[in-house]
Every structure is written in C-alpha cells, then in structure tokens.
Amino acid sequence: MWRHHTNHHGGLRRRRIQAQVISLAAVCSAVAALTSCSNEDSGQDDKSSKPPTKSASAAPAEPSKSSDPNAADKKAVLDAYEAMWVEQARAYQQGTSKGTKLKKYATLDALARAESDLMGMRDRGVVAKGQPSSDASVTRIDMTREVPRADVKDCLDTAKWTRVYRESGKNVPLPDAQLKRYETTVKAEKWGKKWMILRVTPHQRAC
C-alpha cells in the first residue's frame, strides 16, 4: 500500500511538473513572439525616424529672356558702332579707307568726317597707331519710325590711339588742353536689316 501510494503521489508530481514546464514554454514562446514583433516595430521606427535622403539637385532654371523687346536691336547698334571704330582705326593706320570695311558701318556725316580726317593726315604725312576704346550705351531707340533710329552715348578713350609721322615714327605733338578721354554722342539708323552710324560728335567734356 505504501509503495502504491508513493507511486501515485509521484505520478501526480510528475504531471504537475510537466504542466508547469508546458506553461513556462508557452509563456516563453509568447514573450519571444512579442520581442520579435517589438524588434520589427523598432526597426520600422528607426527607419521612419531617419531623415529622408536628399534627392538629386534640380537643374538650374534657365535665365529668363530679356523683357526689353528692343534688346537685340540695341546690341546690333553697339556692334555696328564698335565695328566702325575697328575699321576706322585700320584706315588711320594705313592713311586711307581703301581695303577696309569702314563704308559698311559708317555713312553720311560719320563717313565724311573720317574721310576728311584721313585727307588731312595724308597731307601732313601722319598715320595712327593703336585704336581707341569705348564704353558705349544706347540712350534712346525708336523702332516705330519708318526708318528706326537710335542714339548712343560713349566715353571714348584715345590714350592708346596716337598719331605719328609716317617717315620718322615720332609722335605728333598734341595741344595740352586736348582731352584723351571725352564724351561722344552718336546717331544711328537701321537701313534694311543692318544698323548704320550716321554721325559721331565728340564733345569737350571729360568722362
């Protein structure tokens, strides 16, 4: 009887231990599942908390076109004026406008003054070296006229444009009062598709 009773109690004890083990395993499984979910959620939180990566820089916006409807013509006026001085300096270097493109850019009074100046230089045996520089701007342009017209204001610098005697190469003496940098006003007209320089008027005003 004692042995049987002992076996009975031993069997009950084993069943209780097994039940506790099973319960503990279930709890561990649940804890592990919760931990796994927590880790996954934590990973998602970490990802969501990271600052977004910067996207590729947007291409710079193209510069807006000039709002001035006359911008192209103003540029063409200044281009013609600059080209006129290049050709006039070339004519003064050789003492004649032949072989230059001066007549392509200068006409009327502007061309007549240049030719008159060249004639006087030839009579004195004088030519020029170098060329002038300018800082010109269009002060007015009228495209509504039948023949469009423009006014230009320039600060002409002749410091590096000197006159010399052809034979000796010596500099021609200039009056002390003569300015080497002075204001110049210009009249231009558009003949067909190109701008022509009509008049170049130097002023005894330093700039």
The encoded tokens of residue 182 equal: 């002075």
* Spatial distance between the Cα atoms of 179 and 160, rounded to a whole number of angstroms: 13
Please give the single-letter amino acid code of residue 153: K
Mean residue pLDDT of the chain comes to: 80
Output the CA–CA distances (angstroms, integers) from residue 131 to 82, 103, 191, in the order listed. 11, 18, 27
Give me the torsion for CA of 19, 21, 23, 28, rounded to 10°: -170
3-class DSSP assignment, residue 145: coil
Name the band, by pLDDT with cuts 50, 70 and 90, for residue 176.
confident
Q: Between these two residues, 149 and 62, which has the higher pLDDT value?
A: 149
* Spatial distance between the Cα atoms of 95 and 90, rounded to a whole number of angstroms: 9
pLDDT in tens, 98-146: 999 999 999 999 999 999 999 999 999 999 999 999 999 999 999 999 9
The encoded tokens of residue 152 equal: 């230009």
Name the band, by pLDDT with cuts 50, 70 and 90, for residue 44.
very low
Name the band, by pLDDT with cuts 50, 70 and 90, for residue 19.
very low
Given a cut of 70, whether residue 29 has pLDDT beyond it is: no
Given a cut of 90, whether residue 159 has pLDDT beyond it is: yes
Given a cut of 60, whether residue 181 has pLDDT beyond it is: yes
**Mean pLDDT calculated for residue range 162-171:** 96
Please give the single-letter amino acid code of residue 22: I
**Mean pLDDT calculated for residue range 60-72:** 74
pTM above 0.85, yes or no: no
The encoded tokens of residue 6 equal: 């002992």
Give me the torsion for CA of 28, 29, 32, 36, rounded to 10°: -170
> What's the pLDDT score for residue 65?
60
**Mean pLDDT calculated for residue range 72-94:** 98
Which pairing describes strands 126-130 and 161-165: parallel, antiparallel, or unpaired? antiparallel
Name the band, by pLDDT with cuts 50, 70 and 90, for residue 59.
low
